[in-house]
Amino acid sequence: MNAPQLADTTRKNAVLFKPKAKPKLGVDISTSSVKLIEISRSGDGYRVETYAAEPMPPNAVVDKVIQDIEAVGDAVRKAVKRAGSRVKDAAVAIGGASVITKLIPMPAALSDQELGEQIELQADQYIPFPLEEVSFDYEIVGPSPNDPEMVDVLLAATRRENVEARQAVLDIAGLNAKVVDIEAYALENACRLMTYQMPDEGMDKTIGVVDFGATTTTFSVLRDHRIIYTRDQLFGGKQLTEEIMRHYGLSFEEAGKAKREGGLPSNYKPEILDPFLEDMAQQVNRSIQFFLSSQSEFTELDQLIVCGGCAAIPGAVEYIEERVGTPAVLGDPLGQMKLSSKAKAQLVENDAVSLVIACGLAMRSFD
């Protein structure tokens, strides 16, 4: 099943838009950077054709909302040029508080057309904005567990301005916004690429996936490869950069470089890094407890997959595993992919842990 997509760019009202299987660039627009990846199918596997990343200007994206369309568009344009891809169709995502999702029961006997009509009639009950200001889509999840004559339908919605901002950004970069997705479902899509890291390839397992971004950490839980829970927290790698900046009197750019490349004084680990790793572990543990308290069906996770820039900090995954008490691995969606000669292998491998959303979006090429 494909997760809901918020926009069909060929129609005003996006309902069950199913893109053709054409190559699409996965474009992950975040607070700190834009990451762009092109993936092709190679036999039974996949291959990275091109990849590039570009830093995001300060405050151009705040809390996953695009504030400066021109600046973000220019960053995407530079990434496209650096990647050298000839693909013009792209998939982007919206996340955080900008997206509303609701699981609603509908009669199973409805035809596709009748279901669409009923969703449109009832959407205003679930969406706290005027419908003319909203892009929304839906997907049948499956039979309702408590009533065999009903099906559960996942409704996803966002303000149309969020969709239009991403379309405008890609237009500046010379790209076509063919899919506007939801970050949580892009992550779910990307987890298909990490089943090789899961016990029993994730079947009959409850897998936690934590994605540490620059300012937001997303914690999701998958059961049989499907997201059953997701939660965002305001925590990320920017806090470590700012602490380095304050402690050593560096600029934000200098602190970021020092964080990545090393060379900080000997007191960095005990006074700054170790407390930050403890904060990372506490954030994960708190998210797990929130999940377990909301679900009577589960008492523990079978595994944690740790992704995002902070996950690449040496020892971070082991520290989290020890503090949380759940087996943990460093997520690598590219671990079983081939690399084309055009893809810069060192850059791709260095950034792999941060490419979950971009890979999930690029996988829309094969829907």
CA distance 141 to 289: 26
Q: Is the pLDDT of residue 145 over 90?
A: no
Query: What is the residue extent of each domain of the chain?
Result: 194-330
Task: Provide mean pLDDT across the span 203-210.
Answer: 96
Mean pLDDT computed over every residue of the chain:
90
- The residues, ordered by sequence, that sit 6+ positions from 118 with a Cβ below 8 Å of its Cβ are 106, 110
Architecture of domain 194-330: 2-Layer Sandwich (3.30)
Q: Is the pLDDT of residue 7 over 70?
A: no
CA distance 231 to 227: 11
Q: Could you report the per-residue pLDDT of 218-242, keeping only the tens digit for each?
A: 999 999 998 989 999 999 999 999 9
Q: How far is CA 298 from the centre of its chain?
A: 24
Task: Provide mean pLDDT across the span 122-126.
Answer: 85
| Greatest CA separation for the chain | 67
Structure confidence at residue 281 as a pLDDT band (50, 70, 90):
very high
Task: Provide mean pLDDT across the span 299-325.
Answer: 95
The pLDDT score that the predictor gives to residue 19 is 46
Task: Provide mean pLDDT across the span 135-151.
Answer: 87
Q: Other CB atoms closer than 10 Å to residue 200's CB: what's the count?
A: 9
Q: Is the pLDDT of residue 278 over 80?
A: yes
Could you tell me the pTM of the whole model? 0.88
Task: Provide mean pLDDT across the span 59-82.
Answer: 95
Task: Provide mean pLDDT across the span 308-330.
Answer: 95
Task: Provide mean pLDDT across the span 23-27.
Answer: 95
Question: Which H or E element spans position 46?
Answer: strand 45-55
The pLDDT score that the predictor gives to residue 250 is 94
Instruction: Report yes or no: 163 and 69 within 8 Å, Cβ to Cβ.
Output: no
Q: Is the pLDDT of residue 15 over 90?
A: no
